Amino acid sequence: MSVITRLDKIRKTTNWVDIMPLATLIILVIIMSIGSPRFLMPSNLLGLLAQGSTLLVMGLGETFIILMGSIDLSIAPVAAMASIVVAMLLPGYGYLAFFAGLLFGVFAGALTGTVHTKARIPSFIASLGAMGLWTGVAFVITDATPITVATENSYLTKWVTGSTFGVTNVVYIAVVVLLITYILEKYTRFGRYVKAIGAGEKATKVSGVPIDRIKIKAFILCATLAALSGVLLSTKMAGGSARMADGFLLKAIAVVILGGTAISGGIGGVLRTVVGVLIVMVLDVGMNMFGVNPWFQQAIYGGIIILAVALTIDRSRITIIK
C-alpha cells in the first residue's frame, strides 16, 4: 500500500527529473535555432563547446561533492589561484607551472576536506571559509593586478589553445576529464561510496566504509578539477588574476543542478552535468543574442538555480528546510 504509493511517487518524480534537463535543452536549442539560423552552424556550435569546456571541468568536480550531499563553495578562487600560480611560474619553469597549478588544487581540496571531516564542520562553512582564504591570498599575491604571460611563452599554452582536426584542444581535454570522471563515478569504489554517502551516510559508515577518507578524496578531486579549469583559463587569457574565475561558482553549481543531480545527494552523475553545461551555454548565447545586460545574467543564473532545485528536490526526503 503506502510502500507502493511511495514507489509510484518516486518513479514518477524520478522520470520527470530524468527527462527534464534534456527536454529543457532540446526546447532551448529549438528556440535558439528559430531565433537565429546561424545558431546551428557547426562553427558556432564548436565555439560553444570550447567555451563550455572550462565550465564543464569545474562542474564535473562539483558533481561529486553535490552527489555526496555536500557543497564546495571555494572552487572559483581555487581556479583563480591556479591561474596565478601558472602565470607566475610559466616563464621560469615552463610546463612544470601547469603541474604546480594542479598541485595547488590538490592542496586546497585536502585542506577543505580535512577541515570539514576532522574538525566536523559543515562543508558549506568549511568551503565558505576556504573561499575567503583563497580570494584574499589571490588578491594579496597579485597585488590585485592581473599577471600577464609574455607572448614569447605562448608556445607553452598551445596544448590547450591550439586546434586538432579543427577543434580547439580544450574540448579534447574536457572530454578526457569527462571520461575519467565517468569511470570514477560508475566503475570504482570511490564513485560508489560517494553515492552511498550521499544517499545514506550512517548506513554507509556502519558498513565499514571509511567516510572521512572518501570525503577528503572527493574534495581533492573537486578542487583539482577547479584548479585545472583555472589552468585552462590562464592559457586562454594568457595570464593569471584573482578575478579570473569570477562568476564561475554560480554557474558551476547551476550546471550540476540543472543537469539533475539532487542537491540532497545520492542521485545524479557526471553525464547529467554535461547536459547542465549545454543548457547554460545555450542560455549564455541566447541571453547575449537577446541583449540581456551581461551584469544581469548572474541574477538570471541565481534565479535558475533556485527554480531548478524547486522543481527537482524530493521533499519527502527533506521534511524541514533550513
Partner 1 sequence: MGEYVLEVRNISKSFPGVKALDDVDLAVKPNEIVGLVGENGAGKSTLLKILIGAYQPDEGDLLIRGEKVQIKSVKEAEDHGLAMVFQEQSLLPNLSVRENIFLGNEEQFIKFGTINWGKMDREARRQLEKVELDVAPTAYTADLKFATRQMVELARVMSLEDRTQHAPIVILDEPTTVLEKNEIDLLFDRICSLKDRASIIFVSHHLDEILELTDRVYVFKDGKKVADRVTSETSESELHQLMVGRELKGEYYRQSKQITPADQVVMSIQGLSKEGQYEDFNLDLHKGEIIGLAGVLGSGREEVCRTVAGIIKPDQGQILINGQSIALGSPSQSIQSGIGYVPQDRGVEGLVLYLSIGPNITLPDLSSVIKRGLLSHKAERELAETWIDRMAIKTPSAEALCLNLSGGNQQKVVLSKWLASKVQIFVLDHPTRGVDVGAKEEVYELIRELASQGISFLLIADTLEETIGLSNLILTMKDGQVTQHIEAPSDGKPQPLDLIQHMM
Report the residue count for the chain.
Answer: 322
Among 209, 237, 250, 300, binds partner 1 (CB under 8 A): 209
Q: How far is the CB of 26 from partner 1 (least distance, A)?
A: 27
Q: DSSP 3-state helix, strand, coil percentages of the chain (rounded to 5)?
A: 80, 0, 20
Nearer to partner 1, 8 or 18 (CB): 8
186 binds partner 1 (CB under 8 A): yes
116 binds partner 1 (CB under 8 A): no
Best CA proximity match to 170, nearest among 156, 181, 154, 159: 159
1 binds partner 1 (CB under 8 A): yes
Q: Is 25 helix (H, G, I), strand (E, B) or coil?
A: helix
118 binds partner 1 (CB under 8 A): no
Stretch of 88-96, 101-109, 207-215, 252-260 lying at the interface with partner 1 (CB under 8 A): 207-215
**CB neighbours (10 Å) of residue 73?**
22
Among 22, 110, 159, 205, binds partner 1 (CB under 8 A): 205
How many of the chain's residues bind partner 1 (CB under 8 A)? 33
158 binds partner 1 (CB under 8 A): no
Contacts of 205 (CB under 8 A, 6+ apart): 211
Among 16, 95, 155, 187, binds partner 1 (CB under 8 A): 187
**CB neighbours (10 Å) of residue 151?**
8
* 108 and 223 Cβ atoms separated by less than 8 Å: yes
Stretch of 98-106, 194-202, 274-282, 299-307 lying at the interface with partner 1 (CB under 8 A): 194-202
Binding residues for partner 1 restricted to 6-25, rule: CB under 8 A: 6-10
Among 79, 199, 274, 277, binds partner 1 (CB under 8 A): 199
Contacts of 288 (CB under 8 A, 6+ apart): 294
Cα–Cα distance, 76 to 223 (Å, whole number): 9
Nearer to partner 1, 134 or 193 (CB): 193
Q: Running DSSP on this structure, what letter comes out for residue 147?
A: E
Q: How far is the CB of 305 from partner 1 (least distance, A)?
A: 23
User: What secondary structure does DSSP assign to 71-106, as a single string?
Assistant: ----HHHHHHHHHHHHHHHHHHHTTHHHHHHHHHHH
Q: How far is the CB of 170 from partner 1 (least distance, A)?
A: 28
Binding residues for partner 1 restricted to 222-281, rule: CB under 8 A: 266-267
Beta-ladder partners of 240: 147
Q: How far is the CB of 180 from partner 1 (least distance, A)?
A: 13
* 222 and 75 Cβ atoms separated by less than 8 Å: yes
Nearer to partner 1, 52 or 266 (CB): 266
2 binds partner 1 (CB under 8 A): yes
Q: Which positions lie near partner 1, rule CB under 8 A?
A: 1-10, 183, 186-189, 191-192, 195-196, 199-200, 202-210, 266-267, 317
